[in-house]
Amino acid sequence: MTAPLRLGTRGSVLALAQSGHVAEALTAATGRPVELVEVVTAGDRSTAPVQRLGVGVFVSALRDALTAGEIDFAVHSYKDLPTAAAPGLHIAAVPPRQDPRDALIATGGRTLAELPPGARIGTGALRRIAQLHALGMQFEVTPIRGNIDTRLGRVLGPDADLDAVVLARAGLTRIGRADVITETLDPMLMLPAPAQGALAVECRADDHDLVELLALLDHAPSRAAVTAERALLATLEAGCSAPVAAYGELAEGETGEEIYLRGAVISPDGSRDLRLSRTGTPADAAEIGKALAAELLELGADSILGQEGHAGPGTQQLGSTE
């Protein structure tokens, strides 16, 4: 009997749901059994802001376990991965991406436009904090951290103290909580984080049989979009917690399939908001991201990124994968 493949995962509800989905898909495609192995990361053990802990805080322990041979492969929320490649490891698959947009969960079923000035909105991502300030709607943005249920409790629970929270729609969908969403935010208002909604399935590069096996889960359109978004992030030399947003969509163009990539860099207080777009072919995904980042840098994106430590009035930098 074939031994189960060991899939490393964080122990949060969302991480287990994501890993379970990948495990089921791999077994369905190959017949190979998969067992989940929980790995505790530094990000799980700490309550400190992610910006203080450093880029990759939720993935380093999983990668250490992979390198040590304690697990065979790992599933990451792709937006948590550092943009630099990990020596000896390989992203073998990017499964079909969930809806990458952000979602509002507000009291009384309200939309963003229905919230009054001074409404308290909770979020942990500096990118979201910056874009909420940029709307000019005079919200009080409250930094929060914790898993999805903890965040939802701040607006829906018996001890709720916020008018709304903003979370990734993909995460809510994966744990079966999409019903709490009161508005899916238009990317024109809230551009997603690079690679939001996408998963990265990673294994050791020299495990050629597993590389080939996991490739069955790869979704080329999702990989192309994420490649463009992360190339933009890497060229800006910004981390996953920086006020950088990107959204790549594939559509049929005049000469075939095209990537339409939108990118933004927003100052933490919302006073400067640089947004540009660029198109190209999926084969040139990385070059599209690099070129768009270069245009943003020409407009002064580097000076905005230098302000990361100042998140605007009444805010501080907090973050999480969820």
Please indicate, yes or no, if residue 322 is contained in any of the structural domains.
no
C-alpha to C-alpha distance for 193 and 110, rounded to whole angstroms: 24
Number of domains in the chain: 3
**What whole-number distance in Å separates Cα of residue 18 and Cα of residue 36?**
11
Handedness of CA 97, 78, 49, 187 (dihedral sign): negative
Residue 86 shares a structural domain with residue 231: no
Buried b (16+ CB within 10 A) or exposed e, 227-237: bbbbbbbbbbe
Q: Are residues 161 and 283 in the same domain?
A: no
Q: In terms of domains, do 210 and 272 share one?
A: no
Task: Render each residue's pLDDT in the chain as its tens digit; 322 residues.
Answer: 578 999 999 888 999 999 999 999 999 999 999 999 999 865 444 444 444 444 456 788 999 999 999 999 999 999 989 998 899 999 999 999 999 999 999 999 999 999 999 999 999 899 999 999 999 999 999 999 888 999 999 999 888 999 999 999 999 999 999 999 999 999 999 999 999 999 999 999 999 999 999 999 999 999 999 999 999 999 998 766 679 999 999 988 878 899 999 999 999 999 999 999 999 999 999 999 999 999 999 999 999 887 554 333 333 333 344 4
Q: Residue 159 half-sphere exposure, CB side, CA atoms within 13 Å?
A: 2
pLDDT at 321: 42
Asked if residue 139 and residue 261 are part of one domain, the reply reads: no
pLDDT at 205 (0 to 100): 98
pLDDT attached to residue 56: 57
In a domain, 311, yes or no: no
CA distance 300 to 274: 8
The enclosing domain of 228 has a CATH number of: 3.30.160.40
- Inside any domain, residue 161: yes
Give domain status of residue 313, yes or no. Answer: no
> CATH no. for residue 59?
3.40.190.10
For residues 224 and 294, membership in a common domain is answered with yes
Same domain, 90 and 237: no
Q: Which two structure tokens, joined as six digits, stand for 167?
A: 């979370």
Strands in 73-77's sheet, in edge-to-edge order, are 34-38, 5-9, 73-77, 199-204, 89-93
Instruction: Give the largest CA-CA distance in the chain.
Output: 63
Q: Assess whether 83 and 202 both reside in one domain.
A: yes
Q: Is residue 1 part of a domain?
A: yes
80 is catalytic: yes
Q: Are residues 114 and 231 in the same domain?
A: no
CA distances to 85, 139, 151, 292, 299 from 303, in Å: 26, 25, 32, 16, 9
Residues 228, 286, single domain; the answer is: yes
Question: What count of other Cβ atoms lies within 10 Å of the Cβ of residue 289?
Answer: 30
Is 69 in the same domain as 12? yes
Q: Say what the pLDDT of residue 124 is.
A: 85
Residue 314 lies in a domain: no
Q: Range of 298's domain?
A: 219-305
| CA distances, 99 to each of 5, 116, 247, 258 (Å) | 28, 28, 11, 19
Please report whether residue 192 resides in a domain: no
How confident is the model at residue 122, as a pLDDT?
Answer: 96
| Residue 214 shares a structural domain with residue 236 | no
pLDDT recorded at residue 240:
63
Q: Is residue 317 part of a domain?
A: no
Q: Which residues contact 23 (CB under 8 A, 6 or more apart)?
A: 7, 34, 35, 36
Judgement on whether residues 173 and 295 belong to the same structural domain of the protein: no
Catalytic residue among 44, 64, 72, 80: 80
